[in-house]
Structure 1
């Protein structure tokens, strides 16, 4: 039976840092996770009444708070961390698809546990709460998996991005992506449907991924990054004031044109300045993280990063429903004591999330039979495996969009599992006479599923 200890002790964690971790990336990942989970804790409004489960959004109720999302929207840091870690792990000559499958093995392992738990839970909710309430839970339960789906797709570009050699090439690529994002927005506005802007899921999220690769390969220095960050932030402010875009950078449920589903040029500029601001501050962040007490917290948190990301919404639900049982709902923003009840929910959530982390984070490191076996395909089999991983990522995005509340969502779930399994089959056989790619050694004190990094920047 595995231990419930998510990482090794602090001494081992610090030792691992000395031998090759990029501590700044680990801090960025964990800091972003903290912002995301408490941000959702404050944004989600829910209660149960005679009509069943009611779900709302704080920004939808108080639109004046929308500018705060420019600080709270930290998803660019996840993609930047993935780009940096992918660049650190990539070795020239490694079969592309096989490399991508090894990354997907670590990423998808806890996702399988999560989806299995929700499949059982939703059938139970249907019997206890009714079909309509179960449908609402099904929509929310997998909504955050859009990130993992897009992440799998853009991660596939990392080996190509490592071919960037100069900051000029980086600048040309970033500008090109921004122009492409603007062009897709133009088509979306002309057609009038969100579906016409889906290309921006890749275009926009490639920006922080690209900057992460450039950071790992030292193509952009702190001063240049600071200049780019300031320029992108000014452009974003100007566009928000004069352009046709919403201010909020998260889903509110009340927006006319979402900036995130699919992404827009406004979010692309946000990705640019936030990623470059990290690059400018990375040296100071890394030195701060070198302190043993700080690194212990960062190490433990990264050791269960996927647990935090996947399970914080269920933990929020547990906190909400526990308080509901005592008549302490934080749902009506105009009710007396609403903000105090919201703070109480955050406290209860922190306790529930701590218990959840302790119980479930070991699953991130428990190898699954067959799925986590060695892979070594080359040639066409490797390419096919990589392509199937990308298809699996698209299926995850579709499942997140539709939710597990109708045939479309459950079909997308089936497609994700089928294509992931097919990719594993393709990658599991080595071409006769060809050496198997060297498997990357996992590192101590970091979530392997959030792409642990390999280098320490001086």
Structure 2
């Protein structure tokens, strides 16, 4: 692995924006560390939230809730990727299907492996009657981070039309999305319109994604003003509006800034984007160093696998501690804090083992010369890819809500306004993934005519 990472690092194009790669790794790493820290497991196997035990710590989410940074970086990367494909392929080619397959291959392959492995394990545990206690909690919790995958799929799906709006209206496209998010919150909190809040899963996160388009065109010229506006806006909304302090979901709370997202979370995203842009110069100097850049390249190669399995690793550590009768101190006590470094180290080791076992799914498939010359998919591939990504994101979002528990009992959860079960969610995700994969390829009869080299 070391040689391949060195080679990849040495082959980095001179014009690559390495800082965005650093942001991608740093944001996912922060999310992983935050999840490990927030989990407060007690001696009876119950899993609580440290932020609920110590509410004063909720202010830390204003710095550590960094998913907006990842989505911002996604917008930047998607703009560059889609424009590159537009330049390379002639009219009549389904650039959309090519774009989806190119952007999602390294995301969906490890995700589908995770879903199938956990689904099989959940079914086996239930048949063996072992789905209670911490195991039962794990069957529900390990699927929750999949919401991020579902939202990211929506961002990829909407990149072409929203990029066109950006190219025509610039900041105006962002303002329109932000205004739509504000309108949704007014309808939700002031007029009690039912179900309207779910629209902000699109408006809030796509507005953050739109900031990545602006960054790709060098149009974020006053990051300090962006950061101050976002920070002041979030503070005012929390102080005078119906929004909670925490920028992550809290158990039992009536209103969450995360699910569904709120205008306060969008303001928080503005603050974070402005902050990371202010740090761009020192960050760029850091990744200009060969050793630091190799570390970023290595981390990017396994980041999605580590993200998918980090909760499994954390719960595995707690399960081992319970099985071995290792004392679990009261959450937030002095002994609990003293144990944090040991739990983190154990979770990191177990995550590394999962990465070693499953990272092959994240490796991009090499393109052969014959594949490179194969005819490109036609116009019908676009609609097929659109249907595929829709099925995929709905299935993955549904699974993040219902979890892997009680598969045989038909347990369901509400996805927008429809109830969905775990088996149905898995079938939708797999069917959507296969559609995206096949839509981005040329038909078999055309590939057969392509000369082998």
Greater RCO, 1 or 2 (C-alpha within 8 Å, sep 6+):
1
Cα displacement (A) at 1:106: 2.4
Residue 19 of structure 2 is matched in structure 1 by: 24
Which of 241, 244, 247 matches 2:245?
247
Q: 1:200 touches 1:263 (CA, 8 Å); kept in 2?
A: yes
Cα displacement (A) at 1:267: 0.5
Q: 1:385 touches 1:426 (CA, 8 Å); kept in 2?
A: yes
Are 1:219 and 2:211 matched, yes or no?
no
Are 1:424 and 2:419 matched, yes or no?
no
Are 1:61 and 2:45 matched, yes or no?
no
Residue 156 of structure 2 is matched in structure 1 by: 155
Which stretch of structure 1 is more off in the superposition, 124-133 or 289-298?
A: 124-133
Which stretch of structure 1 is more off in the superposition, 241-250 or 171-180?
A: 171-180
Which of 250, 253, 265 matches 2:263?
265
1:77-115 C-alpha deviation (Å, 9 max, x unpaired) = 111121111111113256223321332222101111111
Cα displacement (A) at 1:155: 1.4
Residue 339 of structure 1 is matched in structure 2 by: 337
Secondary structure of the 2:47 match is strand
Separation in structure 2 between the aligned mates of residue 76 and residue 322 of structure 1, nearest angstrom: 34
Distance change in 2, residues 1:175/1:261 (3 Å): same
Secondary structure of the 2:230 match is helix
Distance change in 2, residues 1:336/1:364 (3 Å): same
Q: 2:187 touches 2:193 (CA, 8 Å); kept in 1?
A: no
Which stretch of structure 1 is more off in the superposition, 319-328 or 242-251?
A: 319-328
Which of 413, 426, 435 matches 1:413?
426
Cα displacement (A) at 1:33: 1.6
Which stretch of structure 1 is more off in the superposition, 154-163 or 80-89?
A: 154-163
Residue 451 of structure 2 is matched in structure 1 by: none
Distance change in 2, residues 1:289/1:55 (3 Å): same
Which of 20, 28, 31 matches 1:33?
28
Residue 401 of structure 1 is matched in structure 2 by: 401
Which stretch of structure 1 is more off in the superposition, 58-67 or 193-202?
A: 193-202
Q: 2:389 touches 2:436 (CA, 8 Å); kept in 1?
A: yes
Cα displacement (A) at 1:263: 0.4
Q: How does 1:53-202 map to 2 (within 5 A)?
A: 53-90=45-82, 91-92=85-86, 95-127=95-127, 130-133=130-133, 135-163=136-164, 169-189=169-189, 195-202=195-202
Distance change in 2, residues 1:280/1:207 (3 Å): farther
Secondary structure of the 1:379 match is coil
1:422-444 C-alpha deviation (Å, 9 max, x unpaired) = 3434443459999xxxxxxxxxx
Separation in structure 2 between the aligned mates of residue 302 and residue 425 of structure 1, nearest angstrom: 26
Separation in structure 2 between the aligned mates of residue 368 and residue 147 of structure 1, nearest angstrom: 27
TM-score (norm 1): 0.83
Cα displacement (A) at 1:164: 5.6
Aligned residues: 421
Separation in structure 1 between the aligned mates of residue 162 and residue 115 of structure 2, nearest angstrom: 32
Secondary structure of the 1:244 match is coil
Cα displacement (A) at 1:290: 0.9
Q: Which runs of 5+ in 2 are unaligned?
A: 406-410, 413-420, 448-453
Cα displacement (A) at 1:70: 0.8
Separation in structure 1 between the aligned mates of residue 256 and residue 324 of structure 2, nearest angstrom: 36
Cα displacement (A) at 1:270: 1.1
Cα displacement (A) at 1:255: 1.8
Q: How does 1:333-412 map to 2 (within 5 A)?
A: 333=331, 337-365=335-363, 367=365, 376-405=376-405, 406-407=411-412, 408-412=421-425
Cα displacement (A) at 1:162: 3.3
Q: 1:323 touches 1:345 (CA, 8 Å); kept in 2?
A: no
Separation in structure 2 between the aligned mates of residue 7 and residue 260 of structure 1, nearest angstrom: 41
Secondary structure of the 2:279 match is helix
Separation in structure 2 between the aligned mates of residue 320 and residue 375 of structure 1, nearest angstrom: 52
Calculate the aligned-residue CA RMSD, in Å. 2.9
Distance change in 2, residues 1:336/1:220 (3 Å): closer
Q: 2:394 touches 2:428 (CA, 8 Å); kept in 1?
A: no
Separation in structure 2 between the aligned mates of residue 24 and residue 130 of structure 1, nearest angstrom: 46
Cα displacement (A) at 1:403: 1.5
Secondary structure of the 1:45 match is strand
Q: How does 1:272-291 map to 2 (within 5 A)?
A: 272-291=270-289
TM-score (norm 2): 0.84
Are 1:14 and 2:12 matched, yes or no?
no
Separation in structure 1 between the aligned mates of residue 74 and residue 328 of structure 2, nearest angstrom: 35
